[in-house]
Amino acid sequence: MLLPRHRALDHLQSLLRGGAPGLLGDRLEPRHDGTVRRIPTDRDAVDARWSAIAPDGAPDRALLDERARALAPAFARNIENYVGALTVPVGVAGPVRVNGSHAAGDYVVPLATTEAALVASINRGASVITASGGCAAVTTNELVSRAPGFAFATLRDAGAFVLWVLDAIPHLRHVTESTTRHGRLADVRVSLEGNHVYLVFDFHTGDASGQNMVTIATQAICAYIADASPVPPLYGFLEANHSGDKKASAQSFTSGRGRSVTAEVHVPRALVLERLHTTPEMLARYFTISAIGGVLSGTIGVQGHYANALAALYLATGQDVACVAESAVGVTRLEATADGLYAAVTLPNLLVGTVGGGTGLPAQRACLATMGLAGEGHASALAEVCAAVALAGELSITAALCAGEFATAHARFARGTPAAVPTAPVVFAGAAPSDPVALAEAEASHA
C-alpha cells in the first residue's frame, strides 16, 4: 500500500516522541520478559478462563449472566474458549412482500445490529416494496466452491495431471457422496498457471450454507488424488485462495458463489413522492452519479450498502457473518419510468443456509422461525428474502440522500437531536428535497 511521504513520516516519528532516536528499534524488538498467562482451552473451563483473564477471577456479569452460563452447552459446537455471550439487539423490518421462485409471502425480517437508523431505513424500503405489490425475486444459481492448489515439476506434468482429473470426475463425485448426505459435486473448473494447477470444485450443498461440507468433501478428494493420481503433485493445499471464500472477488461476482439472486420492484410515482420524499428522476440521477463514483473508487459491482442489510440478517439467523465480505457485492439499478421507478438488485454470492452452523442455536432458529424459514427446504427462499431486504435498503438510503435526509435520520435515531443537523438540500431547480410536490413540478417543467 502506497502512503504519502508526509503521512508515513508522521506515523513513524510519533513512535520516537519523548525518547532517544534508538527508541523505535527498542519498541519493536521481541520481548521475552514476564510470564504469559495461558488461557485454559477445556470446553467446560469457563470459570478457569475468567481466572486467567480477570484480575479477581470474577466473570463480568454483562458477558456471563445466568442465561449465558445455561446456554454454554448449546454453544459447544459453535465456539471455542467460551466466556459468555453478547446481547445484540434485534429489531424487525417489514413485512416485505416477496413474489419469488422460492420465497412467496409477506416476511417480517429480524435484523441484529447496533447501528441506529438501519432497521428504520430497511423498514421504510420494505413498506414501499410491499405497497408496490411486492418484489419479484429469482434464484438463478446455487454452488459453493473450494479450490485446492497443486505444484508440479514442469508444465507438462501439470497438464497431464489436469487431463487425469477431468477424466476422474465420476470417481470424485463418488468420493464426495461418501462424506455427505446432502452435498454433491456439480462441476470442476481448472486454472493452469505454469506448473501450478488450481482445481475449483463446485458443490451443491442442499439447505446448508455448506462451507464446512465442501471443505470436508474436498479434503477427501485431495486424499484420493494423492493415492490415485498417475502424476503425483510435489505438494498441494486444500485451499489455494482461488475459491473467493470470505473475500470480494471478480470471480465470484461474475460466476457466483453460494446462491445467486436477482430481484426487482416497480414503484408507482405517487408512492415515491409520498414515502421516499423525492422523485423517480432524482433517484435515477443518483444511481448514475453513484455508479460512476463506484467505478472511480474501484468497487466490485455497483451498490450502496448491501453489507448493512446482510450483516444484520446474517447475525440474526445464524449465518457465517464473515461471508458478508463476499455476499455484499452485486449491482443495484434504478431507472425512472413513465409511471414511476424501476429498481433491481442482483447479488451473485449469497452464502446462506437454514440448517447447520449457527442456524440451530436457540435465538437464531427463533429468528428463522419468525419468517417461517427454519429447517430444511428453505435456504433458497431465505436467499430471496436477503435480496428483498437488500433492495429495501437500497431504495431507502438512496431516497434519503436524494431528499437531504441522510444525516438528519442518523442524528434523530442515534442521538435524538434532529434539530442539530442542518438540512442539506439537493440543488435542483430551487426545490427543497422536503417538498416532493415541488420536485415533481420542477421535473415536469424540464421534461
Catalytic residues: 115, 246, 320, 410
How large is the greatest C-alpha to C-alpha distance in the chain, in angstroms? 77
How open is the CA angle 208-214-217, to the nearest 5 degrees?
Answer: 125
Are 263 and 391 spatial neighbours (Cβ–Cβ below 8 Å)?
Answer: yes
Cell 414511476 belongs to residue:
340
* Helix ranges (DSSP H) in 43-106: 46-53, 66-70
Are 217 and 203 spatial neighbours (Cβ–Cβ below 8 Å)?
Answer: yes
Q: In sequence order, what are the residues at sequence separation of 6 or more whose Cβ sits closer than 8 angstroms to the Cβ of residue 296? A: none
Quick one: cell of 225? 488424488
Neighbours of 27 (CB within 10 A): 11
Residue 276 sits at φ, ψ, to 5 deg, of -105, -10
Neighbours of 323 (CB within 10 A): 23
Separation CA 302–CA 309 (nearest Å): 16
Reference 186, options 119, 115, 257; nearest CA is: 257
Reference 386, options 354, 360, 362; nearest CA is: 354
Separation CA 422–CA 440 (nearest Å): 23
Q: What is the DSSP string of 55-97?
A: TT-PPPTTTS-HHHHHTTTTTTTT-SS--------EEEEEEEE
85 forms beta bridges with none
Helices 280-297 and 436-446: angle between axes, nearest 10 degrees: 80
Separation CA 378–CA 208 (nearest Å): 10
Distance of alpha carbon 388 from its chain centroid, rounded? 14
Are 296 and 289 spatial neighbours (Cβ–Cβ below 8 Å)?
Answer: no
Are 381 and 138 spatial neighbours (Cβ–Cβ below 8 Å)?
Answer: no
Q: In sequence order, what are the residues at sequence separation of 6 or more whose Cβ sits closer than 8 angstroms to the Cβ of residue 415? A: none
Q: Cis (ω within 30 of 0) for the bond into 95?
A: yes
